[in-house]
Each structure stands twice: as structure tokens, then as C-alpha cells.
């Protein structure tokens, strides 16, 4: 007679929470990245970018003034993405704490039930 199969111990889904956290951070900081990229390109090629108007910026014989202007102005999206990212992080943290607490309690309950079942079989 074969013994009953061992129960599968499920692990807490940390990887899912880490992926969501990385996405929150990337979306919240995307405008910062666009401004940094714009600044690096502009400084490397001696161009000028501001929010008032498009200035010509010749790089390898082609004018990149409009795309650089767009990258620079996208920095204003930080006014939305940074607070939204902070709110999303707080919600993420609340969900993580609740899920982890419930998961831990359910696991303890399951292990306690297994222990009681083992004691009954011994008698």
C-alpha cells in the first residue's frame, strides 16, 4: 500500500509583487528619464532646449529640435506620475501586507490541521 502523497507547500508569490513594484517605479519615473535623456543629448551636442519654443538642434546634419523639445516638455508629466506612483506604492504595500498576513495565517492553520490529523492516526 502506498502512503498518501505529500502536500505541496505553496510559496508566497514574491516575484509577482516585485514585478508590480518595478512597473510602478518605471511608470512614476518615466518623465524623469525623458528629461535626463534630453539633457544628456542637448549637452553633448551644444544645443538649447526650453519649454517656450522649439530650437533647432543639428545632430549629424539632421534637425532634432522637435523630438528633443518633446522629451524636455514630457518632464511636466512628473506632476502627475510622481504623486500617482507614490499612491500606487502605498496601495501596493497595503495589499502586500494584507496578503502576506492572510497567507501566513492560512499556512499556520493548515500545518496545525496536519499536525492534529497525524496525532489522530498515531492513536
The pLDDT tens digits of the residues spanning 2-17 come to: 887 776 778 899 999 9
- Can you give the residue range of the structural domain that contains 75? 25-122
Position 12 in a domain: no
Average the pLDDT over each of 70-74, 95-99, 112-116 and give the range with the smallest value: 112-116
Position 11 in a domain: no
Position 69 in a domain: yes
Average pLDDT, the chain: 90
Position 17 in a domain: no
Average pLDDT (84-106) is 96
Domains held by the chain: number: 1
Position 14 in a domain: no
User: How far is Cα 94 from Cα 115, in angstroms, rounded to an integer?
Assistant: 32
Pair 31, 75: CB distance under 8 Å: yes
Position 83 in a domain: yes
For residue 28, what are the contacts with CB-CB under 8 A and spacing of at least 6? 81, 82, 84, 85, 86, 88, 89
Q: What is the pTM of this model?
A: 0.77
pLDDT-derived band at 42 (thresholds 50, 70, 90) equals very high
Position 8 in a domain: no
> In this predicted structure, what is the pLDDT of residue 56?
94
Amino acid at each position: 500500500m502506498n502512503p498518501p502523497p505529500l502536500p505541496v507547500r505553496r510559496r508566497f508569490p514574491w516575484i509577482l509583487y516585485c514585478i508590480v513594484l518595478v512597473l510602478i517605479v518605471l511608470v512614476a519615473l518615466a518623465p524623469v528619464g525623458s528629461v535626463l535623456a534630453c539633457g544628456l543629448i542637448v549637452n553633448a551636442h551644444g544645443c538649447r532646449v526650453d519649454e517656450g519654443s522649439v530650437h533647432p538642434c543639428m545632430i549629424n546634419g539632421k534637425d532634432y529640435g522637435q523630438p528633443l523639445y518633446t522629451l524636455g516638455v514630457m518632464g511636466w508629466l512628473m506632476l502627475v506620475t510622481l504623486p500617482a506612483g507614490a499612491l500606487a506604492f502605498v496601495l501596493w504595500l497595503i495589499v502586500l501586507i494584507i496578503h502576506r498576513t492572510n497567507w501566513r495565517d492560512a499556512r499556520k492553520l493548515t500545518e496545525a490541521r496536519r499536525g492534529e490529523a497525524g496525532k489522530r492516526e498515531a492513536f
